[in-house]
Structure 1
Amino acid sequence: MEKINFLNITINNVSLSELLTELSTKGGLIVTPNVDHLVKLQTDSSFLKAYHLADYVVCDSKILQYALKLLGKPIKEKISGSDLFPAFYNYNRDNKDIKIFLLGGMEGVAEKAKNNINQKVGREMVVEALSPSFGFENNEAECQEIIKKINESEANVLVVGVGAPKQEKWIVKYRNQLPHVKLFFPVGATIDFEAGYKDRSPQWMSNMGLEWLYRLLSEPKRLWKRYLVDSVPFFVHVIQHHFNIYQHNPILELQSLPLGKVLYHAGLLSAEELQQILEKQKEEKYGVYLGDIIKESGLLSPETIEFFAEELPEIIQSNQVWRIGDYLQKAHLISPSQIDFIKEKQAKSSSPLRLGELIVYEGYVSKQTMDWFIEFQYVLKFQKGKNPTFKQVYQELESFPIVK
């Protein structure tokens, strides 16, 4: 499946028919970027993390499709969530294995959508529907009650329509507690559309990229700021991308990366090892945390995993700039006695070898791991007082022989 890099995400260039086959057979988490998403993704690390974890990222905006075409990156077709979901349930109308749970909408809306969909497909495809209370995502007791109902329903497709980025974040947070669910489907206002609670724009407006205008005219008080103010940075980013001057925030990127990818970039897991671990997690229906699988595999020590999973985010948040040796010791990648040995050797050396060079030379950590920590240190240094870019970081790193 072809992928297109745009701003700080990767979009699958796939047709609707291809996607329906993939979703129906393999499942996974799908996200559907539009202009609003792409603006939020520039500042919201937990939302960006959901995108990093997604199995499918498909274009949900005619405007985004136009922008990509302008940039010489044409997308096969726009696949909005409100088009994809009905296409999915119609595609699987005779597939008795597909069981859907609807979560979203105001009171009674999800139930109405359930009845409408089941009537269309001629069977009880939607097995349960629930409209959560406003702010439910902040109520752990209610979230656990929702999880219980989803599990009891034995649905293997979860459709969540509570708005972005809330729906994507909720799925990522709780999917490991939903062992029966094979496909996670955040769909925005689609449940409202299916219930007949809200009307979609005419097809001709959607085809021309004017669905936003229809929605704005339908709900001006709620949507005027999103479409007329908040979306402006998107067009600025498109221009930046065109002239190759777009830079994403490296701290945001680091905060949003899943644990497995961080360990891979840090040279602590190979691509093959990471793939095996991810496949194992998928076999477990995401019921086991990635860190626990890595611990069981014996590839890394529990202390190293704990550092990257728990301590590293705190270091980033507090902007603690340490010496390289301190990071390595905290990560349990090198012992205090090894540091002492390196310092002693450094003192006796006639050539001005850096500590990092000697650590790599002695084989305590790989060059890739050392490079990663050096880059990490410099990103944090740049973060103090100004917004860093990876370009700036790498310019500074050129002075390090170990990186050349």
Structure 2
Amino acid sequence: MESKDRGRPFGAVETIMVGGAQVARLDLEQTARLMIETARGPAPEGAPLFLTSVNGEALARRDADPDFAALIDGADLVNADGQPLVVASRLLARNALPERVATTDLYPLVAGKAEGEGVSFYLLGASEESNRGTFQATKRRFPRLDIRGRCHGFLTGAALERKVEEIDALAPDILWLALGVPREQEFVRHWRHRLRNVKMIKTSGGLFDFMAGAKKRAPLWMQQAGLEWAFRLALEPRRLLRRYATTNPVALMLLMRHTR
């Protein structure tokens, strides 16, 4: 059993090594509850908490890129957003991961709790269409949820700097950051200390595309079997074939060698 304690609110969460990364042994409900409990407290001193997740692609990138590895390893909480990681932990680790914590499943759980607890959101990332669609879908389902603002993820230069200042002034409890890997981790490294009134940043990958209906999720049986990648490949072969052909074998090797 391994744990990390950086003097941060998540320091006591038990972690195990999965594919070389330290991953929290939390299920969806526990993760959502921890986020809400932390969001109800005071803002961390100096910078918001940084929550991220890893799947096979992220594990392969972490192994190949020391800079990216430092970003992942520096997070306050890392979840397993990939069923193969859960399966590997069950086969190879002394204490298996309880379940996959996919951000697309986590988001509505956190939103439902946030609506009742007065925890606020900001939605940053994806295209304008997907960002707007996520805002609308969330408000339809959770009408009393406090969403302080939203913005697409394609700002640069002075416009991005002004947006960061605006978000900090709005002081959302949770900033959902959907820029994709590795842009969202790099955003955290660059802008985290300018967001002192934000309590936590949760990297979110393709969450907004799924929430807005721009992309479809795999059937549940494929998710549980660790085959969601195959479903996505069938939908977007030109974009994903090369990526999966290069990252999946590396991720499998890492899971076999560095899970305990």
TM-score by length of 2: 0.85
**Counterpart selection for 1:91 from 113, 120, 135:** 113
The answer to whether 1:216 aligns with 2:236 is no
**Counterpart selection for 1:100 from 111, 121, 127:** 121
Output the CA distance in 1 between the equivalents of 2:254 and 2:134. Answer: 37
Output the CA distance in 2 between the equivalents of 1:122 and 1:38. Answer: 37
State the structure with more CA Rg: 1
SS in structure 2 of the partner of residue 47 of structure 1: helix
1:127 is displaced (CA, Å) by 2.1
Q: Which residue of 1 aligns with 2:18?
A: 6
1:40 is displaced (CA, Å) by 0.3
Change (3 A) 1:36 1:130: same
1:7 is displaced (CA, Å) by 4.1
**Counterpart selection for 1:26 from 38, 46, 69:** 38
1:160 is displaced (CA, Å) by 0.8
Output the CA distance in 1 between the equivalents of 2:159 and 2:70. Answer: 24
The answer to whether 1:116 aligns with 2:146 is no
**Offset from partner CA, 1:128-151 (integer Å, 9 cap, x none):** 111132xx4xx4323202202312
**Offset from partner CA, 1:184-238 (integer Å, 9 cap, x none):** 1111110111112212112222122111111111111111112222221112223
Output the CA distance in 2 between the equivalents of 1:210 and 1:125. Answer: 35
Q: Which residue of 2 aligns with 1:59?
A: 80
1:33 is displaced (CA, Å) by 0.8
Output the CA distance in 2 between the equivalents of 1:120 and 1:52. Answer: 34
Whether the 8 Å CA contact 2:19–2:251 is kept in 1: the answer is: no
Output the CA distance in 2 between the equivalents of 1:55 and 1:65. Answer: 20
1:43 is displaced (CA, Å) by 2.2
**Counterpart selection for 1:229 from 246, 251, 254:** 246
Paired amino acid for 1:115:
Q
The answer to whether 1:77 aligns with 2:96 is no
Output the CA distance in 2 between the equivalents of 1:130 and 1:206. Answer: 30
Output the CA distance in 1 between the equivalents of 2:190 and 2:64. Answer: 19
**Offset from partner CA, 1:314-353 (integer Å, 9 cap, x none):** xxxxxxxxxxxxxxxxxxxxxxxxxxxxxxxxxxxxxxxx
1:144-183 correspondence to structure 2 within 5 Å: 144-183=161-200
53-62 vs 146-155, greater mean Cα deviation: 146-155
Paired amino acid for 1:75:
L
SS in structure 1 of the partner of residue 54 of structure 2: coil
Structure 2: runs of 5 or more not aligned: 1-12, 40-48
SS in structure 2 of the partner of residue 224 of structure 1: helix
TM-score by length of 1: 0.56
Specify which structure has the higher proportion of strand: 2
**Offset from partner CA, 1:80-124 (integer Å, 9 cap, x none):** 11111121111222122x111111111232122111101111225
The answer to whether 1:132 aligns with 2:153 is yes
SS in structure 2 of the partner of residue 31 of structure 1: strand
The answer to whether 1:37 aligns with 2:58 is yes
1:70 is displaced (CA, Å) by 1.9
Specify which structure has the higher proportion of helix: 1
> Greater relative contact order: 1 or 2 (C-alpha under 8 angstroms, separation 6 or more)?
2
1:46 is displaced (CA, Å) by 2.7
Output the CA distance in 2 between the equivalents of 1:57 and 1:132. Answer: 22
6-15 vs 233-242, greater mean Cα deviation: 233-242
Whether the 8 Å CA contact 1:31–1:186 is kept in 2: the answer is: yes
SS in structure 1 of the partner of residue 116 of structure 2: coil
Provide the aligned C-alpha RMSD in A. Answer: 1.9
SS in structure 2 of the partner of residue 118 of structure 1: helix
Paired amino acid for 2:15:
K
**Counterpart selection for 1:48 from 69, 83, 86:** 69
Q: Which residue of 1 aligns with 2:221?
A: 204
Whether the 8 Å CA contact 1:11–1:57 is kept in 2: the answer is: yes
Structure 1: runs of 5 or more not aligned: 245-404
